[in-house]
Amino acid sequence: MNIVFTYGLYVLTGVLLMLSFMKSKAKTALSLKKAWRMFFGILPQFLAILFLIGLLLAVLQPDTIQAIIGSRSGIKGIIVSGLLGSVTIIPALIAFPIASELLKNGAGMMQIAVFISTLTTVGFATMPIEVKYLGRKATLLRNFLALLFSFAVAYIIGRVLG
């Protein structure tokens, strides 16, 4: 099923690209050039993160991952995942392969859900910039609410998928 879906997306993308090309060759060529530049812009980060994941998974055995952020790690594992996501600065596009590998190596669904959610919504590392533009009160409130929301999302995902 998964491979059929993947190939279906490739076919759909190809068809839409051809339709775009037939409508406007210049705009399609420009957007493909932009996409290519974006791809090469994110490639170094992506490769570095994949290298770090490989290194991390070589050092940490699945039993260790299960003990720290596995489904049986409970609230402690959820909090650890939430803190890691809150202080990590990586694009969400790169976080998804990390989450996939962690799940394959014993991480729990709720723990990964809170990790991804805090990673994309809570920004402890970027707080100084946010304070500069939004103010201290708004920044703290937004991050606090995002943190609460992340734990709520993890709970719901744990109930639905767990």
46-85 pLDDT per residue, tens: 788 778 777 877 887 888 888 889 988 989 999 999 998 9
* 90-132 confidence digits (pLDDT tens): 777 778 888 888 898 889 999 999 999 999 999 888 899 999 9
Q: Would you say 98 and 69 are in contact if contact means Cβ atoms under 8 Å apart?
A: no
Stated pTM of the model:
0.70
Q: Would you say 77 and 70 are in contact if contact means Cβ atoms under 8 Å apart?
A: yes
Q: Which of 8, 13, 10, 45 has the alpha carbon at shortest distance from 32? A: 13
Q: Give the number of other Cβ atoms within 10 Å of residue 20's Cβ.
A: 15
Question: Which uninterrupted H or E stretch holds 22?
Answer: helix 2-23
Q: Is 1's pLDDT higher than 70?
A: no
* 16-40 confidence digits (pLDDT tens): 999 999 999 999 999 999 999 998 8
Of the pLDDT bands very low, low, confident and very high (cuts 50, 70, 90), residue 135 is very high
CA distance 21 to 26: 8
